[in-house]
Amino acid sequence: MAGQAPVDMTEADAANELMRLAREIAKHNKLYHAKDDPEITDQEFDALVRRNAELEEAFPHLVREDSPSKVVGHEIAASPLSKVTHEVRMMSLDNAFSPEEVEDWVSRVRRFLSLGEGEEVAITAEDKIDGLSCSLRYENGKLLRAATRGDGQVGEDVTPNVAQIPDIPQKLSGDVPEVFEIRGEVYMSKADFHALNAAQEEAGGKLFANPRNAAAGSLRQKDASVTAKRPLKFWAHGWGAASEVPGATQEEVVRKIEGWGVPVSPLFTRVHDVASMLAHYDRIGRERPDLPYEIDGVVYKVDRLDWQQRLGFVAKAPRWALAHKFPAEQAETTLEAINIQVGRTGKLTPVGRLAPVLVGGVTVTNVTLHNRDEIARLGVRPGDRVVVQRAGDVIPQLVDNLTRDVEREPFNFPDHCPECGSEAVAEEGEVDVRCTGGLICPAQRTERLKHFVSRGALDIDGLGEKTIDQFFALGWLESPADIFRLHQRRDAILALEGWQERSVDKLVDSIEARRAPDAARLLFGLGIRHVGAVTARDLMKHFHELPALRQAAEAARAGDEEAAASLTAIDGIGGAVVEALGDFFHEDHNKAVWDDILSEVTPPPYIVETKESPVSGKTVVFTGKLETMSRDEAKAQAERLGAKASGSVSAKTDLLVAGPGAGSKLKKAAELGIEVIDEAGWAEIVAQAG
């Protein structure tokens, strides 16, 4: 963050900025530690922390109670894991970014210890792995408890999870002190991270931004069997509470831990001056792209433990340790093209195609541009020179446009889907542009077909997801109407593996059983945006027949205000629904699919059977807990009896059905003199109408 130099700032400005920084850093800390879901790169985060430190140094009297410099990590999120208080606090490390800062640190250490010029300071150096800190408590050599760092004082109990990590022995071998807490990092290798994300994508699960998040998400599981399926690794870099420390130097103890059977970094070493520290840093930096795991720097520690003791801590970090971070890896290249990919939900994602460029040892050829707004923010157009960054993250980002001032046509975000040619629109207040051709868009088709036959829609038995995928791949399901023509492919289906006469008959029967489908379910099955099951029913209750609905939607789209008003006058129908319907029927493809379906099936007029009952035409409100049915079922009963179910009590309410726990609505009904009955009373009305 490029801020004003502190010397040029007024106190008020500094105080303001410190307040903002405290809030920002706390927010990102929370995203990072508690939710494993960061919004900014580690480098950006570090920049915020440094800016905060810079201002605090210049204005020490303005240091806030909630200053980020006083907090380690983040208070753990509301979590199903139980909490563990660390006997010895888990610290974080101060960071350095330049050789000068490393040199300064060594000088500070020397000054603090008032060492003579000839006296050497041995320093251990090891690569800083991008993982999740963990403390393993061994008593008499047996693993008693494992805890995450949490906020440094209180972490989460991950003992059963850690038992699934092969690197972590349940029992240490050799001569181990009675109590010894080994501290280190749980991490995931790059290869395992990629494989996990590929599997997650396959299964439609959440993708992890980087190996660190994958490791954290895998470890912090209530169900340790999930952890067991994730290939986690561990290495040790230090210790916490110990009944006895088996050595006089950092290196001796680390080697002891290794001897007990716990891995340590293979790049752990000991050096004796700043020049060798920096040489080791450079070496690790060069090896970094080829290492099987992600690292983000090198950690230096004063080797002598008696000196560590004397140096002690400042705020949240030990004076005897320093993390020397790697800069974000960046490279310049040309943005050759911007392609649009269409996702399964119809979202159009712009992808930048780059002239191949090596960033941190990895050749990058494309980069996601996220959405229309991101393209506008960067002002990128094909032909621009751009800066690509691979930070601790594995996913490359486009961070700067070096030629944005060069005159060139701006990139026009497409208003049509490149896959199917349908119109692509962003709804008001949304950044994502979506294809409106759900039914014919190849990118979306199988998902839509699955929705079409799903339980809430046409509810066709025997046409599962796998079958749809298979039939689709064979070219048998170009559109939903093709489902109703599958009986013509009887022999071809029989020839497929796993199909017998009986199963084909069953499938054909369940399809034939839907030749006269419920119009609201059919409408819902079309997957028109904003037209859910309830909205579809509301619409059909009003229009009764699908062509009437289409006519109104098309007229509204064409600017017929009366038609638009007739739609929005329906309870539960708002402008977004009207717009979505208009967009849908504006597409020739959709109209063709619609006509095709209606040539195969004939929904009867949609009339909600209303029985003559004591509540016909009345407005009923349900409140409190219902014992024998759900709120939805009760509302459906009311509709069937010709009553209108409403959510709130007003002067228009005729009847309040109140279960136990009814509160303000009951009170209001009493004030308004509205008839109140209980659930049993309601059941009686329903039974009478029978």
Are 119 and 187 within 8 A, CB to CB?
no
Are 419 and 346 within 8 A, CB to CB?
no
Q: What are phi and psi of 552, to 5 degrees?
A: -65, -40
Min separation Cβ 601 and Zn ion, Å: 24
Min separation Cβ 336 and Zn ion, Å: 24
Region binding Zn ion by CB under 5 A among candidate stretches 56-64, 311-319, 411-419, 535-543: 411-419
- Quick one: 285 or 438, whose CB is closer to Zn ion? 438
- Quick one: 293 or 584, whose CB is closer to Zn ion? 584
Region binding Zn ion by CB under 5 A among candidate stretches 147-155, 198-206, 271-279, 412-420: 412-420
Min separation Cβ 582 and Zn ion, Å: 18
Amino acid symbol at 364:
V
Tokens of 469: 């995928």
* CA-to-CA separations, 207 to 104, 197, 201, 346, 357, in angstroms, rounded: 41, 6, 7, 19, 25
From the list 666, 582, 593, 684, the residue with the least C-alpha distance to 624 is 666
Min separation Cβ 441 and Zn ion, Å: 3
Among candidate residues 128, 233, 635, 665, the one labeled active-site is 128
Q: Does 441 bind Zn ion (CB under 5 A)?
A: yes
CA–CA dist 148, 83 (Å, integer): 9
Close Cβ partners of 471 (under 8 Å, ≥ 6 residues apart): 477, 486
Min separation Cβ 442 and Zn ion, Å: 7
- Quick one: 149 or 450, whose CB is closer to Zn ion? 450
DSSP state of 33: I
Close Cβ partners of 64 (under 8 Å, ≥ 6 residues apart): 18, 19, 22
Total interface residues for Zn ion by CB under 5 A = 7
Region binding Zn ion by CB under 5 A among candidate stretches 271-279, 422-430, 562-570, 585-593: 422-430
Region binding Zn ion by CB under 5 A among candidate stretches 85-93, 331-339, 419-427, 481-489: 419-427
Region binding Zn ion by CB under 5 A among candidate stretches 45-53, 359-367, 418-426, 590-598: 418-426
Min separation Cβ 544 and Zn ion, Å: 31
- Quick one: 168 or 441, whose CB is closer to Zn ion? 441
Among 192, 419, 518, 587, binds Zn ion (CB under 5 A): 419
Is 128 assigned a catalytic role?
A: yes
Region binding Zn ion by CB under 5 A among candidate stretches 308-316, 321-329, 427-435, 580-588: 427-435
From the list 619, 617, 627, 616, the residue with the least C-alpha distance to 662 is 627
- Quick one: 271 or 528, whose CB is closer to Zn ion? 528
CA–CA dist 330, 398 (Å, integer): 9
CA–CA dist 137, 179 (Å, integer): 7
Give, in degrees to the nearest 5, the angle at Cα 94 between 137 and 392.
85
Are 6 and 53 within 8 A, CB to CB?
no
Min separation Cβ 450 and Zn ion, Å: 17
CA–CA dist 493, 471 (Å, integer): 9
Q: Does 540 bind Zn ion (CB under 5 A)?
A: no
- Quick one: 236 or 439, whose CB is closer to Zn ion? 439
- Quick one: 294 or 419, whose CB is closer to Zn ion? 419
- Quick one: 216 or 441, whose CB is closer to Zn ion? 441
Q: Does 340 bind Zn ion (CB under 5 A)?
A: no
166: Cα within 13 Å, side-chain hemisphere? 4
Place of tokens 């680390």: 254
Among 146, 420, 486, 546, binds Zn ion (CB under 5 A): 420
Min separation Cβ 27 and Zn ion, Å: 36
Place of tokens 């979505």: 580
Among 437, 480, 603, 659, binds Zn ion (CB under 5 A): 437
Amino acid symbol at 631:
R
Q: Is 415 exposed, middle or buried (0-12, 13-18, 19+ CB in 10 A)?
A: exposed
Among 158, 417, 577, 581, binds Zn ion (CB under 5 A): 417
Active site residues: 128
Residues that bind Zn ion (CB under 5 A): 417, 419-420, 422, 435, 437, 441
